[in-house]
Amino acid sequence: MKMNRLGSSDLMVSEIGLGCMSLGIDEKVAIPLIHEAIAHGVNFLDTADIYDDGRNEELVGKALKGRRQDVIIATKVGNRRLTGQEGLRWDPSKQHIKNAVKDSLRRLQTDYIDLYQLHGGTMEDQIEETIEAFEELKQAGLIRYYGISSIRPNVIREYTQHSSIVSVMNQYSLLDRRGEEEVFPSLHEHGISVIARGPVAGGALADGRDDKALKGYLEYTPEQIKEIREKLAAFVTEERSMSQLAIRYALSHPAVATVIPGASSREQLLSNIGASMTEPLTDKEKDKLRRLTRANQYTQHL
């Protein structure tokens, strides 16, 4: 498995990581999948405090008992559930971040988090206060580095200029290329890595998932997804499936350090990991693939 440096940190992350959100809550399924991933060279595990109301972090912690030194744990903070209220409340305050990290450490059964990420962000936040919280956690040794998970260019720009983030988690695939021109070059220039989530576009680019194509994806209609899948078939070989092609595309941008496809079965997991053993895409292939899709533009006010 190829390892890449995460931004300006000393963290070397596997180019294929594991997005733990899709593992489910059955530890008889989830824990063996985590162990299998590690056995195949995956060392970057991403979770969040709100996944399955904290149960996801607990499963990751249980799976890593006795092998903490073999992995890099990334988790997230910023959303919270309030007793008696439905949904989530956004809270990037210093108080919440410094309280929430203690709960994550307990659930993960560790005394430090390698990468602590703000799980969102808006321009209305008290950003200086949020940055202070992460910096103080670093000084206390509770986290090694921090980053943000965001698709908002203005928010990303603010943290790029005023914090010591080492990474930005961004949704990125052939069907969602919003960051390619506006965000990724600047991050690369500043030595900040992209963690690419959703490389198979919610299953729309996954092997044998015509059912996902029927639902469409972002601005793409089901008919357009079907047409794209048919055209992508020309790039699929015995050595490289459609899912692996999609993962390879996400990895092809120089700003991307790791991709974190999810897996709910051993078959999915091994297919994802297998992308690391396929040849990188050539510039010619990347150009052809881009012509099959379009670079989405940010349409919302950011």
295 pLDDT higher than 80? no
pTM: 0.93
Cα–Cα nearest to 66, from 102, 31, 117, 91? 31
302 pLDDT higher than 50? no
Q: How far apart are alpha carbons 163 and 147 in whole angstroms?
A: 9
Pairing of strands 167-171, 18-19: unpaired
Q: pLDDT tens digits, residue range 78-88?
A: 998 777 777 88
What is the mean predicted confidence (pLDDT) over 245-262?
A: 97
Tokens of 75: 């988790």
296 pLDDT higher than 90? no
Q: pLDDT tens digits, residue range 129-152?
A: 999 999 999 999 999 999 999 999
What is the mean predicted confidence (pLDDT) over 93-111?
A: 97
Tokens of 218: 């972002």
Instruction: Give the CA angle between residues 245, 250, 256 to the nearest 5°.
Output: 145
What is the mean predicted confidence (pLDDT) over 276-286?
A: 94
pLDDT for 277: 95
Rounded to 10 deg, the angle between the 94-108 and 127-139 helix axes is: 40
Report how far apart, in Å, the C-alpha atoms of 140 and of each of 6, 13, 98, 132 are. Answer: 21, 23, 11, 12
Phi-psi region of 246 (alpha: psi -120 to 50; beta: other; left: phi over 0): alpha
pLDDT for 211: 65
294 pLDDT higher than 70? no
Q: pLDDT tens digits, residue range 180-231?
A: 988 999 999 999 999 999 999 989 998 876 665 567 888 888 898 999 999 9
Give the other-Cβ count within 10 Å of 113's Cβ. 22
Q: How far apart are alpha carbons 119 and 146 in whole angstroms?
A: 11
Mean pLDDT for the chain? 92
pLDDT for 213: 55
Q: Are 174 and 249 in contact (CB under 8 A)?
A: yes
Give the other-Cβ count within 10 Å of 106's Cβ. 13
Confidence of residue 1 (pLDDT cuts 50, 70, 90): very high
Cα–Cα nearest to 225, from 200, 255, 258? 200
Q: Are 228 and 222 in contact (CB under 8 A)?
A: no
pLDDT for 297: 43
Alpha carbon 258 to chain centroid, angstroms: 8
What is the mean predicted confidence (pLDDT) over 24-37?
A: 95
Q: State the catalytic residues.
A: 51
What is the mean predicted confidence (pLDDT) over 25-30?
A: 94
